[in-house]
Amino acid sequence: MKPGIHPPYGPVVYRDTSTGDEFLTRSTETSRETVEWSDGNTYPLIKVDTTSASHPFWTGNARVLDAAGQVEKFRRRFGERTRG
């Protein structure tokens, strides 16, 4: 890597705003907000809307679509297609 052109890479804490879960990792992101971690150090705090703790794919709370019901709803709304 070329010296002097990359942003500093250091520890930050990400907080999931919907669940409150936090995790410590490294990133180039910075923030004026800080949080004290369990090791006694203070780290920049980055708030995010979704993490693996709240995303439906990872939590198993994904909405199951009823494909047949969606087709019937479409047909009721727009009618059957006629070939002519």
Q: Locate the domains of the chain by residue range.
A: 10-78
pLDDT of 44 strictly over 80: yes
How does 33-70 read in b/e, with b if 16+ C-beta sit within 10 Å? eebeeeeeeebbbbeeeebeebeeeeeeeeeeeeeeee
Indicate the pTM of the whole model: 0.63
Compare 56 and 52 and report the one with higher pLDDT: 52
Number of neighbours of residue 78 by Cβ within 10 angstroms: 8
Compare 77 and 43 and report the one with higher pLDDT: 43
pLDDT of residue 38: 94
Beta-carbon contacts of 59 under 8 Å, excluding residues fewer than 6 positions away, are: 53
Q: What percent of the chain has pLDDT over 90?
A: 44
Q: Which two tokens stand for residue 38?
A: 């369990």
Residue with structure tokens 């990872």? 58
